[in-house]
Structure 1
């Protein structure tokens, strides 16, 4: 069975929300932070999601509200709501899937002032800054490595891995009219000093693109090196085993090796007696956070990667 057919079976119930302004964040102190609610049949209802879907659903919520990229998904929301599952690329929750099992409510903090767009995942894309209620691309000449360190940190990603004009498209619309002068230690990009640009034009194709490394939320243990061992992912303060069925093992292994910067998969070893949540990947995802997680327990996955530790 192909990957797309499996996902269609697992997420078979699609739905439409009622109106464009039918999503909000409550209790977080601003319109870009709080518990996720959607308006349905005359009242606001909690949106729930599985741990593995949280980042993708959060990305869609932040995008729909015009609040930039996801900064964090805090735990501890005790309210439960209908389960929503997204791929992360949708423009609104109306394009996602809903099923009728109840899961813990989702709480989201969005960046509000900076986002990465048109990238392969949550930690890559063209840099855009919010200006006068609209988003503006940043010219490559006005953005350096220290600025990139602040953006990656603000969005909850790892260190900058690639920085280049036109890396994720040239951008459309307005261009940010200041030059950032970050020291690299600031918490937010808009906390950095800025100066007026000497040249008010940004040549086509020079909108800066940024790739941040993925957070270190996946590891291989017990294999003698960081590129071999049982797969574990960090969730809610502890490391948990990753399981996969026989048909998915190679695809999940490919994603793990890629995320860790460990080259390609050499082998997937049998005999791991620890069981973990079932993970389903197509094999092309940049990280396990972009895959699907189910609630059945399967034998833990043990992987040996080629050991190429070179990152972008």
Structure 2
């Protein structure tokens, strides 16, 4: 379940499983999924959906139930987005449940879904190369894998210039299909899938030959906000809270950890309303640095890093006090 680093599920929002590039649009309201009518549905509306789901740039906005008719409620009609909104629910519309449509008018979008990720690296810009094909993540074989191939991966992920191309499962062995073998890029391609190869799934490799890359890192322009993840939960929207700082994942101490702090985590990860804030390493003890302690959020912040705290790395805790959250998504 992957779109960026997480499954994104948000109240008054959208969800996809494995960030499919072609999706019918459904929104969660009053704990019930429903559709969006295609009256006035255009590329600006679709752009907001693709952005909210982190599924890459929009390609098209579709109507007339092009991806099949939904069931249940029709939650939104006459949607009018500028295209710059972060959430579809922020766009103008007559009100949830107000419409003059039927499910033959269900709206959809086509996004250019991200198709490459790096796994098990020490930084977000290094790791085992995995590609999404047929809605399943798989690896790339190191046969012929070189600096030109790695350059394309770094460009595609906006991770700066390439530093090295690695083989022999240097970032650990993957699982599942081996999608690409004998990759031959010139280095100028925009996507790894544009490079020459025998065909998806055609290979003579095993996972001991999984390819990897090390990129120099995000440029200043494309650098992401401080990243957050949930670890060891029963769902993608529950677990131990970990934050990325100085290219290293670390935990958050539970001193003063409360529902307002957890609310910000759930919002940042687009995981719906908070259900609970957990403490005492409820989801298991983490390793590495403890980055935040005495976190004090009002609950309205967009990012956990915007909340008051003692300073990154300043704490009086141990990993038996790691904080966690349970979100409804």
Normalising TM by the smaller chain, what interval? Answer: 0.3 to 0.5
In the superposition, the TM-score normalised over structure 2's length comes to 0.39
More strand by share: 1
